[in-house]
């Protein structure tokens, strides 16, 4: 039986750092059971190079990712929406078929200042926090805590 995978849409403002890291991590862990996408309320038009770099450090290649607008998904069935910044949480629309919505805010590493190493430290810290939260979320799906009709 070929069942369609439920779509999880991860939103932030610029769709350049946090939402892409979350998408990459969740797709890596649960892409076999979930269709994972990300978008932004005001997309930056690019994926931050340091996001790509710190994800590569943990074996996740995001070279094919690109910045998308959250309205691009208004015609699609979205099972779960996860916002990873406050602004996206405030402006997030309701999507067709939406069953769940979560808000898990993470610091925006794109605003980090300092030396390259200090900025990389912030990107790695945020990546690791996202990894921890989305690994737990994926475990819930894999154990059957989340359901899909």
Provide the residue ranges of all domains of the chain, joining segments of one domain with +. Answer: 7-142
Question: Of 97, 55, 91, 93, which Cα lies nearest the Cα of 77?
Answer: 97
Q: Within 13 Å and on the Cβ side, how many CA atoms surround 25?
A: 26
Q: Does the pLDDT of residue 129 top 80, yes or no? A: yes
**Helix (H/G/I), strand (E/B), else coil: 69:** strand
Average pLDDT over residues 100-124: 95
The CATH code of domain 7-142 reads 3.40.50.2300
Active site residue: 52, 60, 81, 92, which one? 92
123 exposed, middle or buried (CB, 10 Å; 0-12, 13-18, 19+)? Answer: buried
The rounded distance, in Å, linking the Cα atoms of 89 and 70 is: 12
**92 in catalytic set:** yes
Question: Which pLDDT band, with edges at 50, 70 and 90, does 91 fall under?
Answer: confident
40 strand-pairing partners: 12, 69
Tokens of 85: 């910044």
Least confident of 74-88, 103-117, 124-138: 74-88
Active site residue: 9, 10, 12, 126, which one? 12
**17 in catalytic set:** no
Active site residue: 25, 29, 78, 85, which one? 85
The per-residue pLDDT of the chain, averaged, comes to: 92
Question: Which pLDDT band, with edges at 50, 70 and 90, does 79 fall under?
Answer: very high
Asked whether 113 and 119 are in contact (CB, 8 A), the reply is yes
For the stretch 134-147, pLDDT in tens is 999 999 988 876 66
């Amino acid at each position: 039986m070929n069942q369609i995978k439920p779509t999880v849409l991860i939103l932030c403002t610029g769709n350049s750092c946090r939402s892409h890291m979350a998408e990459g991590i969740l797709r890596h862990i649960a892409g076999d059971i979930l269709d994972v996408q990300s978008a932004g309320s005001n997309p930056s038009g690019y994926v931050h190079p340091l996001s790509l770099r710190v994800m590569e450090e943990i074996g996740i290649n995001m070279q094919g990712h690109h910045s998308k607008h959250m309205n691009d998904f208004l015609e699609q069935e979205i099972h779960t929406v996860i916002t990873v910044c406050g602004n996206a949480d405030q402006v997030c629309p309701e999507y067709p078929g939406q069953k769940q919505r979560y808000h898990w805010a993470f610091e925006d590493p794109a605003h980090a200042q300092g030396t390259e190493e200090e900025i990389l430290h912030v990107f790695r810290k945020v990546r690791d926090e996202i990894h921890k939260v989305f690994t737990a979320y994926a475990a819930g799906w894999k154990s059957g805590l989340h359901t899909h009709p």
